[in-house]
Amino acid sequence: MNKFTVPQSEIENRIKKIQKALQDNGIDGVLIVQRMDLYYFSGTAQAGFLYIPAVNEPLLLIKKYFPRAREESPLNNIIEIQSIKEIPDRIVDTYEKLPENIGFELDVLPVKDFNFYQKLFNTCKCVDASPLIFKLRIKKSAWEIEQMEKTAELSRKNFEHMKEILRPGLTEIEFAGMCETFARRNGHGGLLRFRHFQAEGYPWHILSGTSGGMVGMLDAPASGEGTSVAFPCGAGNKVIEANEPIMVDFGSVLNGYHVDETRMFAIGSIPEKAQKASMAAIEIHNSVIEKARPGITLDELYSHSVNLAKKLGYEDEYLGPKGYKVSFVAHGVGIEMSEPPFIAKGKREPLEPGMTFALEPKLVFENEFAAGIESVFLVTESGARLITKVPVEVFII
């Protein structure tokens, strides 16, 4: 079993901050149900629930597997339950009464589940605690940044391995499988966590030549055609060839912390049009990071990237072809691959130190190819710096 644990000081600090937010918003307590929020606040991802009162110590209720949860979590109050229906009684046993109102993660909680909890806590008013959780999670601690840097080192190894094994004749899906096998051997968790129920948790997009020019069916500038009509994204059965642009978008996760990186590859040489597009994407990437600093708004950074793409002559291709463009150039990243905040159109919130983003300026030339780059950067007290370690360049092998 992996002996990695979240430090007690991290958990205590998070509990303290969410309790302050609960008090400020007049919420008596929150029941954490979603798996990654549970991991964030308790240190374990075992099947269970965490009740955090606005005052007093939290209560962790585990269905399975209790011994591992006990070992992983530094919380004091951890009990085993056989049924979800026990939760209200266990809260009363611990705190003498139920809260008058109780928060839930309503951004992801299914309607059927919410109706169940509402009936279970029929004397309580159920409210949305998701905004309070997001506000806390978007700013990473020094320890969390250290974990993401460890994941970035895993990602660097993954991309070095790609350069060693990429060759003509492999299909995209074969290459993706080889990349994932190497990554798993070196600690990759396998499953990427996404907040949205429609997002798939696979780690790879391999888009070679014309498959990169497919208009994606997911919320990404280029998603490829995939291997089936039921899985229309990622890597497909197209054979990778020499002298064509190859976009590799590979997400890595280590002990729950993600990084998301994209680099352009080519075997032998890359067509001039694709090379110029790739260098334009790199220029946008570098310019956004240079401009990023506390106080600038998310919308300002997004608009800066769009205006630069237009200046470079790629207005039509930037962030997808006409009619299929996405309205963001970067997404938050941490214990979920894609989480708030987003560097996106209309987002007026300012950047703050501790925010981490996966920045992905990409261009899609419909029915031809895709070009782009993606790196993870950290907002610092005075600007921004890269967390990821893969060189910002096009790889010709």
Phi, then psi, of 133 in degrees rounded to 5: -65, -45
Instruction: Give the other-Cβ count within 10 Å of 83's Cβ.
Output: 7
Average pLDDT over residues 69-98: 97
Token digits of residue 34: 């979603």
CA angle 21, 26, 28 (to 5 degrees): 85
Chain centroid offset of residue 68 CA: 26
Whether residue 129 contacts residue 104, with contact meaning beta carbons closer than 8 Å, is answered with yes
- In this prediction, residue 2 has a pLDDT band, given cuts at 50, 70 and 90, of low
325: amino acid identity, one letter? K
Tell me what pLDDT residue 219 has. Answer: 46
pLDDT recorded at residue 368? 94
Q: How confident is the model at residue 227 (pLDDT cuts 50, 70, 90)?
A: low
Nearest in space to 17 (alpha carbons), one of 357, 354, 386: 354
Domain locations in the chain as residue ranges = 8-137, 142-396
- In this predicted model, what pLDDT tens digit does every residue of 12-33 receive, in sequence order? 999 999 999 999 999 999 999 9
- More confident position, 286 or 223: 286
- Write the pLDDT tens digit of every residue in 189-226: 998 999 887 777 778 889 999 988 775 434 444 455 66
More confident position, 219 or 240 = 240
Nearest CA to 248 among 181, 180, 193, 185? 180
Longest dimension (CA), the chain: 71
Domain at 8-137: CATH code: 3.40.350.10
The residues with which 342 forms a beta bridge, in sequence order, are: 331
Give the single-character DSSP code of 84. G
- DSSP code for 58: -
Nearby residues of 43 by Cβ (< 8 Å), 6 or more positions away:
5, 6, 10, 11, 72, 73, 74, 75
Q: What's the fold here for domain 142-396?
A: Creatine Amidinohydrolase (3.90.230)
Q: What pLDDT is recorded for position 375? A: 98
Q: What is the pLDDT, as a whole number, of residue 203?
A: 82
CA–CA distance from 37 to each of 105, 130, 133, 354 (Å)?
A: 9, 10, 8, 18
Q: What percent of the chain has pLDDT above 90?
A: 87
User: Is the CB of residue 204 less than 8 Å from the CB of residue 235?
Assistant: yes
At 225 the pLDDT is: 62
Comparing CA positions, the residue from 19, 71, 81, 22 lying closest to residue 49 is 81
CA atoms of 236 and 347, how far apart (whole Å) = 34
Please say if the pLDDT value at position 393 is more than 70: yes
User: Does 239 have pLDDT greater than 50?
Assistant: yes
216/66 Cα distance (integer angstroms): 42
pLDDT at 230: 76
Give 71: exposed, middle or buried? Use CB within 10 Å, 0-12, 13-18, 19+: middle
Q: What is the pLDDT of residue 154?
A: 98
Reduced to 3 states (helix: H, G, I; strand: E, B; else coil), residue 194 is strand
- According to the model, what pLDDT value does residue 202 have? 77
Q: What is the pLDDT of residues 306-331, one digit of tens each?
A: 999 999 999 999 999 988 899 999 99
Write out pLDDT tens, residues 260-283.
Answer: 999 999 999 999 999 999 999 999
| pLDDT score, position 229 | 75
Q: What is the mean pLDDT of the chain?
A: 94
DSSP bridge partners of 30: 52, 103
Residue type present at position 266: A
Kindly report, residue by residue over 99-141, the tens digit of the pLDDT: 999 999 999 999 999 999 999 999 999 999 999 999 999 999 9
What is the structure's pLDDT at 218? 40
Whether 288 contacts 303, CB under 8 Å:
no
How many angstroms separate the CA atoms of 155 and 161, rounded? 10
Mean pLDDT over residues 362-390, rounded?
97
